[in-house]
Amino acid sequence: SAWDSVKPTLPVFFSVHGTGEDEAVAMLKDRLDITPYPTMEEACAKAVEAAQ
């Protein structure tokens, strides 16, 4: 998968919204063991928190 080939060394913060949202979130959890944040606002807040 693209995620495996990139192998990010920095934390990644994101949310998923729109058509197919439930399926996308389930796929991220199942295949990559990643849970997106419910809102972009929360993802940004966590990114700022992690940077401090």
**pTM exceeds 0.85:** no
Q: What digits encode the pLDDT tens for the residues 16-34? A: 999 999 999 999 999 988 9
With a pLDDT cut of 90, the percent of the chain lying above it is 67
Whether 13 contacts 38, CB under 8 Å? no
Residue 37 DSSP class: B
Domain ranges of the chain: 10-42
Instruction: Bin 2: left if φ > 0, else alpha if -120 < ψ < 50, else beta.
Output: alpha
